């Protein structure tokens, strides 16, 4: 007996490019859980399963990374704290 698979319609499949995170840390900012990783010279922010590459920008202290075209989304690592803003909304430390 030979099994012949029948075609199956899966509907529309949405694909997205894989964005590596490198070494990542999970953060809890208020009620939000997110991850921040570093890959090459950039930071990668993962919120609700979506990863955004953040580019380094000048900072008075520490290391600050910002989303290209969205200055309201950033991660700022300074001293012993990480500050995060999503779309202009600063999250609790």
Q: What is the pLDDT of residues 11-69, one digit of tens each?
A: 998 887 777 888 889 999 888 999 999 988 999 999 998 899 999 999 989 999 999 99
Report pTM.
0.77
User: Does residue 1 carry a pLDDT above 80?
Assistant: no
Residue 42 to residue 64: CA distance in whole angstroms: 10
Query: Would you give the end-to-end CA distance of the chain in angstroms?
Result: 64
Contacts of 54 (CB under 8 A, 6+ apart): 42, 43, 44, 45, 65, 66, 67, 73, 74, 75
State the pLDDT at residue 36.
94
47 beta partners? 34, 50
State the pLDDT at residue 24.
87
């Amino acid at each position: 007996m030979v099994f012949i698979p029948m075609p199956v319609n899966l509907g529309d499949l949405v694909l997205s490019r894989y964005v590596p995170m490198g070494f990542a840390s999970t953060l809890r900012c208020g009620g939000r859980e997110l991850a921040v990783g570093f890959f090459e010279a950039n930071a990668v922010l993962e919120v609700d399963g979506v990863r955004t590459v953040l580019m380094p920008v000048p900072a008075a202290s520490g290391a600050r990374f910002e989303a290209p075209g969205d200055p309201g989304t950033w991660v700022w690592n300074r001293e012993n704290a990480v500050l995060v803003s999503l779309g202009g909304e600063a999250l609790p430390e």
